[in-house]
Chain A
Amino acid sequence: GENVEQHPSTLSVQEGDSAVIKCTYSDSASNYFPWYKQELGKGPQLIIDIRSNVGEKKDQRIAVTLNKTAKHFSLHITETQPEDSAVYFCAASTGRQLTFGSGTQLTVLP
């Protein structure tokens, strides 16, 4: 089955700096790659996703890039703010099921 690895497990950045989280996947048939943000005491919430026919997607301060040849994808957050502090999960899917990475605890320091 699919295996998704996510790095780093923790990340601290100064407010206003950029943050990058990276994931690799094993199944070349995976074609959908979402990113979820989980705040304390809440369920994961989709923040951005990308499909295999697209190399990059942006939504305001967040962007995701996908390299299908290398089987890795990354989340980029620019101009980080305190409210960006949360756990971020990447995931990969070949169809209906999502396989999640282990999560990255992002802390934005004021």
Chain B
Amino acid sequence: DAGVIQSPRHEVTEMGQEVTLRCKPISGHDYLFWYRQTMMRGLELLIYFNNNVPIDDSGMPEDRFSAKMPNASFSTLKIQPSEPRDSAVYFCASNLSGANVLTFGAGSRLTVL
């Protein structure tokens, strides 16, 4: 398996633009997590899904953020409109029910100017 695949790896955009980050979890994994990493706040859990259903989105900072998982092999995290304070590295991770081991993707580095 190629692991958790994220795209794009780098995104530079201007304030007010819509940003969409994409994730393909490991095949067979039924949990998917979105994390945000910043120097100030470290690794923060934004939202996670089980069998494509959002379970806990309490970490989503505000209504500008939304996440979807239309099928078991694809998820998106969308920011609309983006702001400079959204600049961070966004990680997707997945694991298998009953196993705590979390496998992370390589991350998407977002810069909002």
A residues neighboring B (CB under 8 Å): 32, 34, 36, 41-46, 49, 89, 93, 96-103
Q: Which residue of B lies closest to A31 (CB)?
A: B100
A43 touches B105 (CB 8 A): yes
Which single member of B45, B91, B100 contacts A43 (CB below 8 Å)?
A: B91
Chain A proximity of B3: nearest CB distance (Å): 9
Q: Which of A34, A49, A93, A97 has the most CB of B within 10 A?
A: A97
Chain A residues within 8 Å of B113, by CB: none
Given contacts A49-B100, A98-B102, contact A43 B56 (CB under 8 A): no
Chain A proximity of B99: nearest CB distance (Å): 10
The answer to whether B31 has its CB under 8 Å from any CB of chain A is: yes
The answer to whether B21 has its CB under 8 Å from any CB of chain A is: no
Q: Which residue of A lies closest to B59 (CB)?
A: A97
Given contacts A96-B48, A97-B48, contact A45 B104 (CB under 8 A): yes
Give the CA-CA distance A89 to B56 in the complex, in Å: 23
Q: Binding site of A, secondary structure by majority: helix, strand, loop or mixed?
A: strand
Q: Which residue of B lies closest to A42 (CB)?
A: B106
Within B54-110, the residues touching A (CB, 8 Å) are 55-56, 91, 93, 100-107
Which single member of A46, A101, A102 contacts B101 (CB below 8 Å)?
A: A46
B45 touches A97 (CB 8 A): yes
Chain A proximity of B96: nearest CB distance (Å): 12
Q: Which of B4, B43, B56 has the most CB of A within 10 A?
A: B43
Chain B residues within 8 Å of A43, by CB: 4, 91, 93, 104-107
Chain A residues within 8 Å of B56, by CB: 97
B42 touches A103 (CB 8 A): yes
Give the CA-CA distance A36 to B37 in the complex, in Å: 14
B42 touches A100 (CB 8 A): yes
Give the CA-CA distance A99 to B42 in the complex, in Å: 10
Give the CA-CA distance A46 to B42 in the complex, in Å: 17
Known: A45-B104, A46-B102. 17 other contacts (CB 8 A): A42-B107, A43-B91, A43-B105, A44-B43, A44-B104, A46-B101, A46-B103, A49-B100, A96-B31, A97-B45, A97-B48, A98-B45, A98-B102, A100-B42, A101-B42, A102-B42, A103-B42
